[in-house]
Structure 1
Amino acid sequence: MAITYHLVLLSVLLPLAGGASLLRYQCGKNFTGDGILASNIGAGLADLVRESSLLGSANSTRGAGDNTIYGLSLCRGDVTSGDCSTCIADAAGNISAACAGHAQAIVWYDICLIRFDTEDFNGKWKNGSGWVVRSSREAPNPSIFVPEVEELIRQVTAAAAGAGGRLFGRMARVIRRLEGLAVYGMAQCTRDLEGGSCRDCLDLLAGWIPVAGGCRNSSGCNLLYSSCVIRYETYNFLSPVDASSSASLQF
């Protein structure tokens, strides 16, 4: 299955006022002069903002027929309800402005995402494009670092796919051959997926880690897709995860 992905280089993530960092957004399906469709998009986003903080995720359906809008939101599994609520509100406001006049959109932050579409995407992950947002800092000794990261991601992927309804896994891994360097990783799927589909989506993203044009030789990377995300860093971006002398730690 061929899926398009795009590469973005970042030296740092730029936090917004609420503390979350905007990574990417993508708009599609232009429309003009349809007040009903625009109203349904606004109402659907309002539903997601209102409901997301309760469980860290929400779905919405507004309208009927060709004017139906399906929406979904997701917060990273380790963030507080307050941070989740703030991020979703920021995401809804920004995607409304950035993708005005579009009936399909998705926005990724470092701790949340929102998407909407006229097509019912629930339970479907195979159609779409993804983004690789990687650090401009090179990894130390890539011949050692990259295989260790791949093993870390295999473990967090298995944890996420086996996590029941949460579909979230996080872990720290200490690389002894790199003077005890700790690498932190997470994997998460949107909650409309089953465990098997979650694993398939994450496996697709994990395949971008070692390749040129993907995360290759980068010290940190965000792998973004409409139904799943993976991230690893050499600093602790998770809340809370502490590295110890153990080779792998799951939280």
Structure 2
Amino acid sequence: MGPLQSLILLLILLILAVFQTVGSSSDYTDLVYKGCANQDFQDFNGIYKQTLKNLFDTLISQSSNTKFYNSSAGEGPSTINGLFQCRGDLSNSDCVNCVKKAPEMSEKLCGHSIAARVQLNGCYLRYEIAGFRQVSGTELLYKVCGSTQASGAGFEDRLNSALGEIVKGVGSGNSGFYAGGYESVYFLGQCEGDLNSGDCVNCVKNAIDKAKSECGTSISAQIYLQQCYISYTYYPSGVPTNNSPSFSSGSRKNTQKTVAIVLGGVVGLGLGIACLLFAKSTLKKKTHTYKYGG
């Protein structure tokens, strides 16, 4: 086999490796953060174990029909309340897969805690024993501020306009979910499914205020409150060609775009692999734990 044929074979193998790596990764089921109560169920292997299982089974069964559902299981002091919510742009099948993943993550990360919240990229699930003290709906649970700071004039005005679009969007009969773009700022906002329009708008406004105070001129941010969250990314040099932002990061279309971008040559392909590996390691480092009060 000649040098050219060897190079082509190597390129094909590397392309397949990247495609398999990206295609097999369900980004929407990746962990964003967890919250675990600092108290465990007493006698978990008795009634509480079965009650929690019944609750999870109910939530999973409803995830094929709706993006938000809350329910209870058990009776009296052993009652456990819980809910799930999927991101508004997830397909029904992706919502099911995401919600199925959440109880597994909850058990792995929080054990037998009497209350827990697991936030994945595409959905979140939380539960708490009856009588558990709730935090405020606008309590800041988790934040991610981009390390890159905006430079030059115009960023603040663009960002303010984009954030204003989120407020208008979630309050305009969109089921508390809105995603879009404004002059190279791409954004997303979502409220818990049982909030009315007014409370949803107020929650998102609180999230925006926290984004401004916590993240300043960062070109990207994710702000998670108890009952809503927002995220945005600003592209100062314009949106990357052939790789426009998408909030359905687990889609096969994005996988195909990623592979297409690195087809330019071996160097680009190697860089793509390095970036993927770095992104995975960085995500693990960003995993954050907080404790519920109770």
TM more than 0.5: yes
| Alignment partner of 1:43 is 2:45 | no
| Alignment partner of 1:157 is 2:159 | no
How far residue 145 of structure 1 moved from its aligned partner, in angstroms, is 1.7
Match of 1:168 among 164, 177, 180: 177
Taking a change above 3 Å as real, the CA distance of residues 65 and 238 of structure 1, as seen in their structure-2 partners, is: same
Superposed counterparts of 1:208-223, under 5 Å: 208-211=210-213, 214-223=214-223
Distance 2:70 2:27 in 1: 24
Superposed counterparts of 1:104-119, under 5 Å: 104-119=115-130
Taking a change above 3 Å as real, the CA distance of residues 15 and 183 of structure 1, as seen in their structure-2 partners, is: farther
**Aligned position for 1:207:** 209
Partner AA of 1:183 in structure 2: V
**Aligned position for 2:185:** 183
Distance 2:48 2:136 in 1: 24
Superposed counterparts of 1:217-232, under 5 Å: 217-232=217-232
Alpha-carbon deviations, 1:100-131, whole Å to 9, x = none? 1211111112221111112479xx95374421
Partner AA of 2:165 in structure 1: Q
Taking a change above 3 Å as real, the CA distance of residues 210 and 221 of structure 1, as seen in their structure-2 partners, is: same
**Aligned position for 2:150:** 139
Distance 1:103 1:39 in 2: 14
How far residue 15 of structure 1 moved from its aligned partner, in angstroms, is 11
Q: Which protein is bigger by CA-based radius of gyration?
A: 2
**Aligned position for 1:245:** none
Alpha-carbon deviations, 1:9-47, whole Å to 9, x = none? xxxxx9994332311110115123232223222221222
Partner AA of 2:188 in structure 1: M
TM-score w.r.t. the length of structure 1 is 0.76
Structure 1, 35-44 or 187-196: larger mean CA deviation: 35-44
The structure where strand makes up a greater share of residues is: 1
Partner AA of 1:19 in structure 2: D
1:163–1:169 contact (8 Å) kept in structure 2:
no
Distance 1:185 1:150 in 2: 11
Taking a change above 3 Å as real, the CA distance of residues 204 and 127 of structure 1, as seen in their structure-2 partners, is: closer
How many residue pairs end up in the alignment? 215
2:52–2:80 contact (8 Å) kept in structure 1:
yes
Match of 2:39 among 24, 30, 42: 30
List alignment gaps of at least 5 residues for structure 2: 1-21, 235-243, 250-294
List alignment gaps of at least 5 residues for structure 1: 1-13, 175-181, 241-251
How far residue 150 of structure 1 moved from its aligned partner, in angstroms, is 2.6
TM-score w.r.t. the length of structure 2 is 0.66
Distance 1:104 1:127 in 2: 18
Distance 1:53 1:42 in 2: 18
Partner AA of 2:62 in structure 1: E
The structure where helix makes up a greater share of residues is: 2
Distance 1:161 1:40 in 2: 36
**Aligned position for 1:19:** 27
